Chains A and B, each alone.
Chain A
Amino acid sequence: MISDEAYKELEEAVGVDNVSRHPAVLDSYAFQPFENHESMPWCPRPVAVALPSTTQEVSEVIKACNRHNLKHKAFSTGWGLWCGPTTDDVVQIDLRRMNRIVEIDEKNMFAVIEPYVCGAQLQAEAMKVGLNTHIIGAGPNCSPLASATSMHGVGHDSIYMSYSARNVLGLEWVMPTGEVTRLGAPGSGKGWFCGDGPGPSLRGTMRGYTGALGGMGVFTRVALKLYNWPGPPEIESTGTVVDVMSEVPDCLRIFGCFFPDKDRLADAYYDIGEAEIGYNCLKVATPAFMMILAPHLFKKLKGTENLRRLLGGTLGQMFLIILAGISREDLDHQVDVLKAIVDEHLGFVLDAKNIPTLGSNLAMNFIRATMPALVFRIGGSFSTALGRNDSLDTQLAWGEAIAEIKRGYAKKEMIIDDMGDNPYFVPYENNTWAHCEVVYPYDHRSEKHLAGSSAINMDFIINAIESCMEPMFGVVPSARKVLSPLTSNFNRWQRKLSEALDPDQTSDKGFYTDEAEFDFTNVPPERVERLQKLVEDLTWTELGPPE
């Protein structure tokens, strides 16, 4: 509950039309099914929601919350449990009125944007001036600001456009105290071209591998790197996601590359990286395409052993790559190189040019990352096994290990059988490191699946620790509690910084520094023991980790 007095101050901050405490409105924020492993997919209901339209208003909202001992939690495009409150005393700050592209600096290749600018919007504007923006694999509906400042940040285009956290060139930040600060060159009034300095970089307090997920104030503007786009200002398209057909620009070529085994695929990846080609590159399981595009057909066909073997086996080790050339000569060279590499590693390429409908369907779906959300279709929900990103080899090994775990659960019908390993594997920065997560669909209405989900997640965590990885879902308080002592006691330091910059702990810290006990209800005792043993063996002493 929010007091009338506090509510009135919120009204004063943003105007009466832009604040609400109506239960129906609040419940629309509390309904957060994605990555919510409860049978009723709600998160705590916020006590009120405020919709500021300027940085100043954000600051006033936070100050009003602070005066009344209420916490605050930012919400940009709001896709997933993480943007919801984790306790009962939170004011949700919905940033949808802050939807401006403040500036596109064409020459210096960056844009300054507000939180509710979405990937598609920024991309459309950037393309008009021959530039492009990194779009995370969640899709173009998501806020590039949210992933760059506060969340993860991997996307199909990471081979060319990196990881969101590494694309930040400056930041405007309403601190948990309500004070406004800017980091890097904009903080000194010099323009939005560098996010670090003077001296030590406060960008390091903004986020690490993951963001603070709303646990450290509100970011109101960010300067993000843009990248070259050699294509036309607009791509002619008809239809929508599943049946979209686009004019494939002459500067693009799309290939599926198939390999006889994982090792050859890995070698090809490394070689492609050193050849410095590729604009968009993604390894997904072949059956995943059928699963997301034609779920009913998929359900019918998945018992077919030959199809399983063909898609999951023979065609299993593949990736899609888009080459973008700045000239005919450049593109031809890239194609020559790609074909030579695939040949050398005994693979074959499928040229989408030879299957025009496929090419014209995939082009925008990949450049704009529109397809992944279709993964919800088959079971209504999905989750994912995220290990720590590092070398390509580690990520491929992670994909295999998780696929093995998944098979066991699919056999017991504790998750939906998706007929393959279903990785989302993308290389970063010319294949110099990579990301791999393994997706599994489930039906959150099924008790069996919910039990399966919590057990399989424990297996993922154990596997991550055994593989010396910090699982990306270390943002969950129970996982953080287990992991921190094994990983530089990072949460101890995170907490200290959080207490230094947010002395009254007014941001919602649920996904940032809070810790909690695991619920082991659905986890077999031997797995609990295994986890405990790992923790015992790997806990840091003051001299570091046990070698």
Chain B
Amino acid sequence: MRKKTNSAIRRWMYAMAYTAVSAVVLAGCGNGGNEPAAGDGKLTVTATTGMIADAAAEVGGEHAEVTGLMGSGVDPHLYKASQGDIKKLDNADIIFYNGLHLEGKMAEMFEKMEDKKPTVAVARDLPESALRTDPSGAHDPHIWFDVENWISATEVIRDTFIEKDPANEGDYRAQADAYIAELKKLDDYAAEQIASIPEASRVLVTAHDAFGYFGDAYGIKVMGLQGISTASEYGSKDVSALRDFLVQNQIKAVFVESSVPKKSIEAVIEGASKMGHEVAIGGELFSDALGKAGTSEGTYIGMVKHNVDTIVSALK
């Protein structure tokens, strides 16, 4: 009796093993893996965040087909790879990522990829002095909030394109120059607008510390409830300290972010209102991701403008 069931089990196991093996073989045939990227002579470019994809598309122009891994509104800390992302990385001629640990563990993979194809951190050329550094030695990865940093990132993107495709060097230089000119205008606009806020009210209160570079560049004090990491919880002391600060300095508005929940900041507003000081929600800022594609906030320049305008109109 036992023998009989044993052989039945064994047969079943063989069947399983057979299915598994044939599935693997089929998979191997199905995708081939090495299909030529973009047959029309365009470079296939894959970028991690929407901001980088936007800059790469501006510089690459008609010579590049750019795809982003992280969609609009996706917090890079919470990005989950899908099966299709493998192909986006496998087929790319050039890969751009932020660096400074924004992509977490993926960075180690990108370093490996460097041997096989141009895989470039756009923060590569930023000097140590331009970076915000934590006492523990870690860098703040949210470099795009200082437009000057983004100009450096654009230059890295431009040089990478030229190295990969020297035939079109002229086009890349022209497109990069045009984009950098716009970024410079944007930089001036941001500085000018923020400076128009009375100095005492120049305080930007948000839920998490993504705006450090913005504050440094444009002279606005930045206060966040939460640390950079979404794993660090805010303490009740943080809430009350922030509340007292708002009340004492008569700050008019605080801001919510597109990729961070509102709840934490609402506790502060409620606390201040109990102490007789009304704080408004000044609007939604884009922090770690761009807005929806097709809207003006769906581009880097549109996003920065939106943030600046929102801040200025609420605090002025």
Say whether A associates with B. Answer: no
Q: What residues of chain A have their CB less than 8 Å away from a CB belonging to chain B?
A: none
